Amino acid sequence: MITVTVLNEKGGVGKTTIAITVAAGLASRGKRVLLIDADAQGHASRALGLAKYPGLYDLLVRNADYSDVIQAIPSGKYGGIGESTLYLIGSNVETRHIANSISDAWLVDEKLEPLEALFDFCLIDTAPTPSLLHGAIYLATDFVLYPTLCEFWSFDGLAESLVHRRAVESVKQVKVAGIIPMRVRSNTLEHTENLRSLKERFGNLVWPIIPERIVWAEASTYQVPVFVQAPNSDASGHAWELVDRVEVLANG
Ligand SMILES: Nc1ncnc2c1ncn2[C@@H]1O[C@H](COP(=O)(O)OP(=O)(O)O)[C@@H](O)[C@H]1O
Ligand SMILES: [Mg+2]
């Protein structure tokens, strides 16, 4: 199992969108995928049509059984066929209390260990506010994806996130898989200039842009991935490109 965490210490940059799209895309290709919602807002849970529930809290703090916290997402919801290969550990407001309730920084890693053989990918959607839970998630992570808007405060969130990654570097090798410019409006000078400086600074780490398209928001409204909402849209094309790139991370 490869664990990919989606992170940026800024809200509204597309973390949840990326996490659920990649998770659903991989699952619809038959990969066995575990999606972990680690944001108290529970949007990753809601985005695929499930209710919020304290799955992650129960697993980490109440030491609940896996079977009580892991839910299958019906394959019809994400464009899969046959038996579901997409599973969720959900979240609700209680996720906020996890950081105050755990003392073992390796807890997330330990809890994922028995699942290693059951899943091909684990996608983790995170909250914007840094906490001890983020540290514990880092220690369980193989690759990080950083979505960012091509705007000042998102770059600031990205910079902060990269600094915090460095803090755990001595104990755990976490690779930066890529930085994803989200909601880019290429017809604005602000976005094109900022994108240029992002590429200057990070080079090949910058993945292809995901342009601003209303179908992404519509997909949120209908609680399905964008390629289910609008399969023939160019947004779906961008989504599949993203899924391709994450899928090959498994090849090392
Ligand atoms: N490429 C895009 N074009 C238009 N809207 C987008 C795009 N990507 C994401 N969105 C919308 O932006 C909003 C914030 O995205 P979200 O994934 O919830 O961010 P975060 O999890 O970082 O807070 C959502 O309503 C989502 O539908
Ligand atoms: Mg989110």
CATH code, 84: 3.40.50.300
Instruction: Give the pLDDT band (50/70/90) at residue 162.
Output: confident
- Say whether pLDDT at 247 is over 90: yes
When pLDDT is averaged across residues 223-249 and rounded to a whole number, the result is: 97
Predicted confidence at residue 172, as pLDDT, reads 85
Q: What are phi and psi of 145, to 5 degrees?
A: -115, 130
pTM listed for this prediction:
0.97
Residue range 78-97, pLDDT digits in tens = 999 999 999 999 999 999 99
Lowest mean pLDDT among 56-70, 126-140, 160-174: 160-174
Domain, as residue range, for 161: 2-251
Residue range 167-199, pLDDT digits in tens = 777 888 899 999 999 999 999 999 999 999 999
The protein residue with its alpha carbon nearest to ligand 1, atom 11, reads 217
Predicted confidence at residue 218, as pLDDT, reads 97
Determine the Cα–Cα distance for residues 79 and 77; give it in Å rounded to an integer: 6
Question: What is the domain count for the chain?
Answer: 1
The protein residue with its alpha carbon nearest to ligand 1, atom 24, reads 217
Ligand approaching nearest to the C-alpha of 127: 2
Instruction: Give the pLDDT band (50/70/90) at residue 124.
Output: very high
Predicted confidence at residue 165, as pLDDT, reads 82
Quote the ligand 1 centre to 17 CA distance (angstroms): 6
**Substitution site in 7, 16, 17, 18 for ligand 1 pocket (most atoms within 8 Å of beta carbon):** 17
CA-CA-CA-CA torsion sign (168, 96, 37, 157): negative
| Residues within 5 A (CB) of ion ligand 2 | 15-16, 43
- Say whether pLDDT at 101 is over 90: yes
As a 3-state breakdown, the chain gives helix, strand, coil percent values, each rounded to 5, of 50, 15, 35
Determine the Cα–Cα distance for residues 9 and 162; give it in Å rounded to an integer: 10
Predicted confidence at residue 173, as pLDDT, reads 85
Residue range 28-62, pLDDT digits in tens = 999 999 999 999 999 999 999 999 999 999 999 99
Ligand approaching nearest to the C-alpha of 7: 1
Percent of the chain with pLDDT over 70: 100
Q: Which two tokens stand for residue 213?
A: 């398209």
- Say whether pLDDT at 252 is over 80: no
Q: What is the mean pLDDT of the chain?
A: 95
Q: Ligand 1 atom closest to Cα of 11?
A: 23
| Ligand 1, CB cutoff 6 Å, lining residues | 11-17, 43, 182-183, 210, 212-213, 216-217, 220
Beta strands in 21-120 (DSSP E): 33-38, 70-72, 86-89
Q: Ligand 1 atom closest to Cα of 214?
A: 4
